[in-house]
Amino acid sequence: MKELEGRIGLLTGGSSGIGYQIANTLADAGATVYAISRTGRVKEGWEESHEGVIHIKGDVTCYDEMKRIVTEVAEEGLDFLFNNAGINKKCRAEVFPMEDYRGIMSVNVDSIFHLCQLCYPYLRKSPHKGRIITISSMAAHLGFVEVVPYCISKSAVLGITRGLAIEWANDNICVNSIAPGWFPSEMSKQVYDPERQAKTLARIPLHEYGNTEDLGALARFLLSDNAKYITGQDYALDGGALALGF
C-alpha cells in the first residue's frame, strides 16, 4: 500500500513547474490531488499529469470561487492543502507600482490565508491528521534586490505557517512550509538574467540548481504518517545557501 493511499488534497498552481512536480509525486504515492490553476489544465509542452491529479480551473484570489471548489472537493473528505501558487515582479522598490504590489500580496498572502480558513473545518476531521504545506522561499530569509514585495510576501508566509501551527495544534492539523532554494521555474526565468544566475550559483555551496523531484519527496514526507509530530517548521531545500557565512 502506498504511503498516501486514500488521501485527498488541494494544491494550487499545479499546471507546471514546482506545483506540477509535487502534484505528480503525491499522486504517485497514492493521493488524489485536485490541482487548481488559472487554466485548469497542464501547461502546453508539459506531459500529461499522473492519473491521480485532477486539474481544476480557478482563481485563488477569488474567495467565493475557492469556497465553492473547497466545498465540492471536501465532500469526500480533505486531508491536506498545499499552497504553491505565487507571483513575482522585478522592479526597484522606490518605483514599484502599487497595483503590482497589491497583486503580489493578494496571491502570495491573502489567498493562502483564505484557503487555510476554508479548508480548516475539513482538515481537522482528517483521520490521517490534516496537513497544510505552503511554499515559502529563500526570500523569506534573505534580502534580494528588485523583488522586495516578493520578499515581504514570503516573510508573511512564515508568519501564517507558525501562527496557524500554534493556534491549530490541538485541532488535528499540522502546518509547515518549504523554502525552495534555486530551482528552474517560469517565475525564476522572469527575474533572473544570466549575470544574476552566475552570482546565484556562486552563492550556493553545492554550486548547482535544485531538482524539483527533491521538493516532491519532501512534500510527500511531510504529508506522511512519519511527520505527525512536525509542525510550525520551514524547511530550506537550498543546497546549503542559508548556512553559508562570509
The per-residue pLDDT for range 61-91, each reduced to its tens digit, is 999 999 999 999 999 899 999 999 999 999 9
Query: Rounded to an integer, what distance in angstroms lies between the CA atom of residue 196 and that of residue 19?
Result: 24
- Give the C-alpha separation, 138 to 11, whole Å: 21
**pLDDT at site 188:** 59
Assign 183 a pLDDT band (cuts: 50, 70, 90): confident
Q: Which three cell numbers stand for residue 123?
A: 482538515
pLDDT band with cut points at 50, 70 and 90 for residue 191 = low
Residue 133 three-state SS: strand
> What's the whole-model pTM score?
0.94
Give the 3-state secondary structure of residue 237: strand
Is there a contact between 128 and 225 (Cβ–Cβ < 8 Å)? Answer: yes
- What is the CB neighbour count within 10 angstroms for residue 63? 15
Select from 235, 223, 36, 34 the least CA-distant residue to 130.
223
Within the chain, strands assigned E span: 8-12, 32-37, 53-57, 80-83, 130-135, 173-180, 234-237
Q: Is 150 a catalytic residue?
A: yes
Q: Domains plus CATH for the chain?
A: 8-240 (3.40.50.720)
- From the candidates 34, 101, 120, 150, which is the catalytic residue? 150
The set of cell numbers assigned to 29 is: 504515492
C-alpha to C-alpha distance for 75 and 78, rounded to whole angstroms: 8
pLDDT for 102-141, tens place per residue?
999 999 999 999 999 999 999 999 999 999 999 999 999 9
Find out whether 148 and 191 touch, Cβ atoms under 8 Å.
no
